[in-house]
Structure 1
Amino acid sequence: MQRDTWVVTGPQIIELDDVRALRVGLVAGRVDVVGRDEPGARIEVHRVVGRSLEVTLADGELRVGYPYTLGGWEGWLDRFKGWRADDRADVHIAVPRDVAARIGTVTAEGLLAEMTGGAQVSTVSGSVVADGTRGLLVAKSVSGDLVVRGHVGDLRANAVSGGVTASGRFGQVQVTTVSGTVTLDAAAARELYAQTVSGDVTVRLPEGLGVTVAAKSVSGRVVVDGEAHTGDGYVTGSVDVVRGDGAVRLSTKTVSGHVTVLRGGPGREGGAV
């Protein structure tokens, strides 16, 4: 298997052909991954502080990061939670839109834009934005905020104290947090599920879109279309209602967070599923 490697110590531009997959592992700094129509990849390294950055291409997979961040993808958050290092890099990567991407950061900020091949992003405390993506998007965070704009397809997001904000035309959405807030703005969807411990949940749907709502909060309030719902003594807020044809299935659970479901919000982003 042919393997090409570049050791980058400062600003540098690398152009490559035959890139079918992307893996990024950064500690601090910033990484932008942008899909493009042109074949091949262009890596623009703007700054490197600390250890040298490594860029490798092997069997169609492009890797950008460090030996200790690119060893394995599973368990990224567990391995780097509490990590202390001064390694910093600012990198812009342009790849074909259909490339499958996996991006991991510790404190670095990340942007994933106009990618259609499905993606996984993980961050410990950096904020990550996915803009105009398609396919299955899997996002994980400890304390960093996850922002998804104009996504088309399925979304799975998990955070501890980081907030999750997502808009688009969804298939299935599954979001879980501990204390992080959840805000979903769905122009279309088949199934929406959100669960938190203390984080508030807000779901916005277009006016007139039919929805089946099953929402529950142990000590928080539940409001659907401006109407507050109360529980049975053990649960402060609880509701099982059908609006319109009930085409969208919405299920939310929280212990102390508040749940708000609104129809008539913005909800106009993204293309057709």
Structure 2
Amino acid sequence: MSNESWAVAAPQTLDVGRVAAASLRMQGGRVDVVVDPAAGRTVLEIVEVGKKPLQVVREGDRLRVAYERSRVEAFVARVKSLGDSERAVVRLVVPPGVSVDVGTAEADVDVRGTTGTVVKSVTGAIRTSDTSGSLYLRSVSGDVAASAHAGDVSAQVVSGALAVDGALGRVSASTVSGAVAVTATGTAPMVTAKTVSGDVALRLDPDVEVSLKVRGAAGQVVLDGEVQPSTARTLAVDRSATGEGNVAYLTANVTSARVIVSRG
């Protein structure tokens, strides 16, 4: 496949052909990515664009959408926000199977239906739905919500809330002050959670056994409405699964927070 590039200075729609991977890097605005099962090609709609032209580059089967910076501009950006000059609102429609990597500073991100997805933001909110495969999410202060995901999830948030649900496998969740909520449907996940002051909530199907290992300076562990006894002066709860069947594993490290597990 040949290489092609565009410098987009006004709203327009680009048919960029068939790609296997798409990378989007935005300062502010909004990024929407959606999978169209009937699509055979990738289409990029630029709804709004800032004062600087948005660079769109296709190299073989890889697509990159970003504001390219010179060394001088990169230095200025570190000490001063470029504001609306690098603000864009884009919508990317891809066929099934295209991996997506999105990185933003202040732009909100909404991703639907992708397989193999990475989304990173500083202050923008992140929302994903109906995704599958590996999902990596990272935000500093924006809330993160991943709904109806099938597969593994790795998510890191500093002060925003984190919510994940779906047919989950391995889940790694880390926050400082934001709450963590994990809901597994039809699976018995292996969850690792780390938080300072944000509570951790895990919801499972009624027939799932639970194995718990929780450590913390202070806090509480509640399983199906019952407070679990700590085996140390600090928070230390170990519970092995009893009986047979599907077993969900939760390992949590907290500073001062509650860990709540419920079934049903």
Same fold (TM over 0.5): yes
Amino acid aligned to 2:251: S
Q: Where does 1:35-184 land on structure 2 (aligned, <5 Å)? A: 35-37=35-37, 38-68=39-69, 84-86=81-83, 87-116=86-115, 118-184=116-182
- Match status 1:219 vs 2:206: no
TM-score normalized with structure 2 length: 0.90
Contact 1:217 1:238 in 2 (8 A): no
Q: 1:247 to 1:83 in 2, by over 3 A?
A: farther
Shift of residue 127, structure 1, vs aligned partner = 0.4
Cα distance in structure 2, aligned partners of 1:45 and 1:159: 29
State how far apart, in whole Å, the 1-side matches of 2:132 and 2:63 are: 20
Normalized per residue, which structure has more strand?
2
CA drift of 1:46 comes to 0.7
| C-alpha distance 83-163 of structure 1, shift in aligned 2 (>3 A) | farther
Tell me the percent identity.
Answer: 33
- Offset at 1:243? 4.9
Cα pair distance change 1:2/1:262, threshold 3 Å: same
**What CA deviation, in whole Å up to 9, does each residue of 1:188-239 have, x standing for no partner?**
1331111111111001011121221222332111111111123244314624
Unaligned runs of 5+ in 1: 70-79, 265-273
Aligned counterparts of 1:182 and 1:50: Cα–Cα separation in 2: 38
C-alpha distance in structure 2 between counterparts of 1:68 and 1:232, whole Å: 56
Q: Secondary structure at the match of 1:43?
A: strand
CA distance in 2, matches of 1:68, 1:263: 51
CA distance in 2 between counterparts of 1:68 and 1:237 reads 50
Q: What is the root-mean-square deviation of aligned Cα atoms in Å?
A: 2.0
Q: Distance in 2 between matches of 1:93 and 1:35?
A: 8
Please tell me the residue identity of whatever aligns with 2:82. Answer: A
Which stretches in structure 2 are left out of the alignment for 5+ residues? Answer: 71-76
TM-score when scaled to structure 1?
0.87
- CA drift at 1:256: 0.5
Q: 1:208 to 1:218 in 2, by over 3 A?
A: same
- Partner-residue secondary structure (3-state), 1:103: strand
Structure 2: how far apart are the matches of 1:249 and 1:228?
18
Give the whole-Å Cα distance in 1 for the aligned partners of 2:80 and 2:35: 30
Q: CA deviation at 1:101?
A: 0.8
1:191 aligned onto 2:204: no
User: Distance between the aligned counterparts of 1:232 and 1:135, measured in 2?
Assistant: 38
Q: Give the Cα–Cα distance (whole angstroms) in 1 for the partners of residues 207 and 52 of structure 2.
A: 55
**Structure 1, residues 4-58: CA drift from partner, whole Å, max 9, x if none?**
1111112100012121110000111101000112111111111112321111111
